[in-house]
Amino acid sequence: MTAMHDISEIADWLHSHAIHHESSVHDTLPDPVFRVGGEQAVSFSTNNYLALANHPRLVEAAKAGLERYGVGNCESRLLGGDLPVYRELERRLGALKHKSDAVLFVTGYMTNIGVLSTLVKAGLLARLHGFRPSKRRKYAYFTDEYNHISIREGILMSGADKHTYRHADMTHLESLLKAAGGASPIIVSDGVFSMEGTIAPLPELTALAEKYGAMLYIDDAHATGVLGAHGGGTSEHFGCYSETIMQMGTLSKALGAIGGFVALEREMADVLRLTSSAYGFTCPPPPDQANALLAALDLLEQEPERRARLWDNQRYFVERMRPLGYTLTSTSTPIVPVLIGDAERCQRFARALRAEGVHVDAIQFPAVPPGQARLRFMLNAGHTRAQIDHVVGVMARLGATL
């Protein structure tokens, strides 16, 4: 038996049980309208919340970045790859999150892996530079059961103890913190949970973090640009700011480009830049993307009506769907999952929607627990009332037949 034989055996089994994934190839990207197979369709499952990915100002900013810097960076920022455009982007992202600094990573996934795997080992890594800690500490992570897989993998890579609390259950979290012994706690939660559409109870998390001397790490991937009066995310949504909070975000969702970041106080940012391999041993996002993101942040400030349209569309969709009798698992964010239950039935709904020119992701195990398959509707600033009326009409017909 060889390793290749093992992989072939797994592949054969997955294909025989129809568990392989074949994604359709689109002619264009959703904005939210796209073309697939020469036909026009409307996406209700795109992360491009503010319809900025194809905005002319982002395109022009990216072109200017290409003309100035070329296609790629090809250098670590710790060596010869740092540029003023990265520094300015980090400054702007820190300000958006009410923090004194931010650290830019190539993707949001790499941000979670890079930060969470490093936090508990920063003192050990700093010893390579001659640092000697006044006290050796043991750390433990406390993580919501529905946190994104990149969080779970970052914690696993850290080697630290992990305690999982029930989704948004602050009583359960506190019981785990009380039993933590001498370990220094780090609480980790999504800001908006991507499969549930729920918002983390940030004020309660912050209160527990301050009570138990914990750091609090919030993954604001689906909240940045979406929640808060200015798109600042979960902290702005609640008006909840604390030195204990580190705010992670992605740049490939509401801001329409690519990259990830963590906003935090400057002293901690300096430590991460020196100790995180995911920052120091790889390239940053291409400079044209950083240039485009500066334009996206400008639009976030200058066109608040985009976010207003997003929320108007969310409220209109929820209002139209409620009378149909479906279970909407959450209605607090632009992610509005419609619970179907059976995975195969959920796939039939998704196929029927596609036949009507609508794309909606069918979410099933292992992304959600068995028996909780759902259609994940994601509202967009670019949706029209006619498009929402159409998809609601299709769901009304499907409810009667499927």
Looking at the domain assignment, is residue 319 inside a domain? yes
Q: Are residues 296 and 277 in the same domain?
A: yes
Say how far apart CA 373 and CA 269 lie, in whole Å.
39
CATH number of the CATH domain containing 144: 3.40.640.10
Looking at the domain assignment, is residue 18 inside a domain? no
Q: Which residue in 265, 278, 284, 271 sits closest to 128, CA to CA?
A: 271
∠ CA 160-234-143 to the nearest 5 degrees?
A: 20
Say how far apart CA 173 and CA 121 lie, in whole Å.
24
Its pTM stands at 0.94
CATH number of the CATH domain containing 351: 3.90.1150.10
pLDDT at residue number 137? 80
Q: Are 191 and 240 in contact (CB under 8 A)?
A: no
Please identify every residue annotated as catalytic: 194, 222, 253
| Helix, strand, coil content of the chain in percent (nearest 5) | 45, 15, 40
pLDDT at residue number 332? 97
Q: Are residues 201 and 158 in the same domain?
A: yes
Q: Are 51 and 31 in contact (CB under 8 A)?
A: yes
**Token pair of 206 as six digits:** 């912050």
Looking at the domain assignment, is residue 10 inside a domain? no
pLDDT at residue number 17? 65
Q: Are residues 283 and 313 in the same domain?
A: no
Say how far apart CA 246 and CA 188 lie, in whole Å.
10
pLDDT at residue number 268? 93
Q: Are residues 387 and 363 in the same domain?
A: yes
Helix H segments across 242-378? 266-275, 277-280, 287-302, 304-321, 343-355
Q: List, in order, residues 6 or more apart from 152 with CB less than 8 Å away.
A: 143
Looking at the domain assignment, is residue 5 inside a domain? no
Say how far apart CA 376 and CA 394 lie, in whole Å.
15
Looking at the domain assignment, is residue 9 inside a domain? no
pLDDT at residue number 182? 85
pLDDT at residue number 400? 87
Domain of residue 330 covers 24-52+303-401
Q: Residue-wise over 147-166: b if at least 16 C-beta within 10 A, else e?
A: bbebbbebbebbebbebbbe
Q: Which residue in 324, 356, 358, 354 sits closest to 338, CA to CA?
A: 324
Q: Are residues 288 and 307 in the same domain?
A: no
Domain final residue, candidates 301, 324, 346: 301
Q: Are residues 210 and 358 in the same domain?
A: no
Tell me the residue length of the chain.
402
Q: Hey, which residues does 331 pair with through a beta bridge? A: none
Q: Are residues 253 and 357 in the same domain?
A: no
Q: Are residues 34 and 89 in the same domain?
A: no
Strand spans (E) along 115-202:
139-144, 161-165, 184-190
Q: Are residues 324 and 246 in the same domain?
A: no
DSSP three-state, residue 18: coil
Tell me, rounded to whole angstroms, the distance of Cα 61 from its chain centroid: 24
pLDDT at residue number 318? 98
Domain final residue, candidates 249, 281, 301: 301
Looking at the domain assignment, is residue 1 inside a domain? no
Per-residue pLDDT of the chain (402 residues; tens, 9 = 90+): 577 778 888 778 877 766 655 567 889 999 999 999 889 999 999 999 999 999 999 999 999 999 999 999 999 999 999 999 999 999 999 999 999 999 999 999 999 999 999 999 887 777 767 777 777 788 999 999 999 999 999 999 999 999 999 999 999 999 999 998 889 999 999 999 999 999 999 999 999 999 999 999 999 999 999 999 999 999 999 999 999 999 999 999 999 999 999 999 999 999 999 999 999 999 999 999 999 999 999 999 999 999 999 999 999 999 999 999 999 999 999 999 999 999 999 999 999 999 999 999 999 999 999 999 999 999 999 999 999 999 999 999 999 888
Q: Exposed, middle or buried, 331 (CB in 10 Å: 0-12/13-18/19+)?
A: middle
pLDDT at residue number 78? 92
Domain final residue, candidates 269, 301, 333: 301
Task: Give how many domains the chain has, as a whole number.
Answer: 2
Looking at the domain assignment, is residue 14 inside a domain? no
